[in-house]
Amino acid sequence: MSTEKQCACATAPKLVFPCSGASDVGEITDRAARQLTKRGKGRMYCLAGIGGHIPDMIENTKKAAKILVIDGCPQDCARKTMDQGGFSKFEYLRLSDMGLEKGKTLPDHENISKVVAKGAQILEC
């Protein structure tokens, strides 16, 4: 009998919904979500599918083990989209809370890496 702890959330995907907005911080949310997917920490998923009420996307999201929503700025577009889609149980990360300000933040490796590290931490079981 194994005494090793198993992560219960390994049975369903962990989904990442970035705002992917048109600003610098929106670009960072998008690129961070892609990195989290590439590193196997979660799977980037389509926020527009939630906003558009696409049935398959809604159902797949309901089955997720964990959901991470990433907004770039205090407008909270991604969070509001998830709320409108009927989702209230998700983890949340806002880049402006990390000191990354809209219109003043380079979408460079350093800033993307900060968001990836925080997102990976949040997605851990």
Q: Has residue 95 been placed in a domain?
A: yes
Provide the number of structural domains found in the chain: 1
CATH number at residue 75: 3.40.50
Within a domain: 5: no
Q: Which residues sit opposite 75 in a β-bridge?
A: none
| Nearest in space to 13 (alpha carbons), one of 44, 54, 43 | 43
Whole-prediction pTM: 0.91
Q: Which of 55, 35, 54 is nearest to 43 (CA)?
A: 35
| Phi, psi (degrees; rounded to nearest 5) at 97 | -70, -15
Q: What is the Cα–Cα distance from 4 to 84, expressed in whole angstroms?
A: 39
* 1 belongs to a structural domain: no
pLDDT digit string, tens, across residues 17-67? 999 999 999 999 999 999 999 999 999 999 999 999 999 999 999 999 999
Query: Which residue range(s) make up the domain with 33?
Result: 12-123
Does residue 119 lie in a domain region?
yes
Contacts of 4 (CB under 8 A, 6+ apart): none
